[in-house]
């Protein structure tokens, strides 16, 4: 298998907020093509990588889009107002750097006259250093999208980066694909679009593929930090998580049990995951057509939807091994 961190580094730097996935799609295509029997993109922007077999049809989905910012208004001062693309945590925005698709960079800040408890996204702005509206409009325009800017770090076993959600899931799928030399099953690796705004890509991909079984690969929250409002029995570095349920899905018990049995065969430590906030592509796939036997493999991640998310490299590598073993047998 290729180095997972090296794959991740190529993916986290690619531009790709929801609805603007062209750049990240090209990066994934380049990395996946050597291991595939065909690659295509559908009308909604999903990238679908095929590994042919004559057996059961299996869909694996990891969303490639990210949360971001859409320019809605430019002040006379040159400051840029924005709307949310996906779920933004306003407590984590101040001081973060952002990047537009054309390379222009800026800093997120807010109106200090507002008390923190009353502050909404309407009180935030992007400062690109422009001194006037005219100057700002030479750099960006209404409707332009921006994403968090930064670099990825490997600190021992800990991955730290913006957009581990869900470039890490994409890296896991590419790594799994590279490890499958042959398969009896007919495999469809879907790098889905627009998950962060309503699981849209997975819905259309699941309809066209009409799979017998599916796995959604995404990050999941952890319960190993002090003072958390929602307790979870998931910890960083304790193995990938087998999804039981989240707000979008109750997984098929047969699929979850299959994953646990295979993890035992591989001597991979896994955790059971019930995530009470948020959902994944699994929710859209399970409801497609007459229904699909659906499960999920999740990578425990701290600080989701912030500019600095944290996950475990060993959890991610084990997730790739478990997925490759499961879908090729």
What residues are annotated to the active site? 195
Beta carbons of 236 and 311 less than 8 angstroms apart: yes
- What DSSP string runs through 167-223? HHHHHHHHHHHHT-S--SSEEEEEEES-GGGTSHHHHHHHHHH--SEEEEEEEE--S
> Who's near 89: CB < 8 A, 6+ residues apart?
305, 306
Torsional sign, CA 35, 40, 44, 45: positive
Residue 148, helix vs strand vs coil:
strand
Residue 319, helix vs strand vs coil:
helix
Beta carbons of 301 and 269 less than 8 angstroms apart: no
Residue 103 structure tokens? 């390379």
């Amino acid at each position: 298998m290729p180095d997972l961190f090296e794959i991740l580094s190529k993916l986290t730097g690619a531009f790709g907020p929801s609805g603007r996935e062209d750049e990240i799609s090209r990066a994934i295509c380049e990395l996946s093509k050597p291991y595939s029997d065909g690659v295509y993109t559908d009308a909604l922007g999903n990238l679908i990588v095929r590994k042919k077999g004559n057996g059961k049809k299996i869909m694996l989905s990891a969303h490639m889009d990210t949360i971001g910012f859409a320019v809605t208004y430019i002040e006379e001062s040159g400051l840029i107002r924005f709307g949310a693309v996906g779920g933004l945590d306003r407590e984590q925005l101040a001081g973060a750097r952002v990047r537009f698709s054309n390379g222009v960079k800026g800093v997120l800040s807010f109106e200090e006259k507002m008390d923190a408890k009353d502050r909404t996204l309407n009180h935030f702005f992007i400062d690109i250093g422009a001194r006037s509206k005219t100057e700002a409009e030479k750099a960006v325009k209404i409707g332009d999208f921006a994403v968090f800017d930064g670099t990825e770090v490997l600190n021992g076993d800990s991955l730290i980066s913006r957009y581990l959600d869900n470039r890490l899931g994409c890296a896991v799928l590419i790594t799994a694909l590279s490890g499958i030399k042959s398969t009896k099953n007919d495999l469809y690796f879907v790098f889905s679009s627009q998950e962060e705004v309503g699981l849209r890509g997975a819905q259309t991909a699941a309809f066209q593929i009409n799979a017998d079984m599916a796995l959604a690969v995404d990050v999941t929250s952890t319960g190993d930090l002090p003072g958390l409002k929602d307790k979870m029995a998931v910890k960083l570095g304790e193995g990938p998580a087998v999804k039981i349920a989240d707000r979008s899905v109750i997984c098929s018990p047969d699929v979850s049990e299959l994953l646990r049995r295979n993890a035992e065969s591989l001597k991979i430590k896994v955790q059971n995951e019930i995530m009470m906030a948020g959902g994944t592509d699994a929710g859209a796939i399970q409801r497609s057509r007459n229904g699909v036997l659906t499960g999920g493999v999740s990578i425990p991640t701290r600080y989701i939807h912030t500019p600095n998310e944290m996950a475990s490299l060993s959890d991610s590598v084990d997730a790739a091994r478990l997925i490759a073993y499961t879908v090729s047998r």
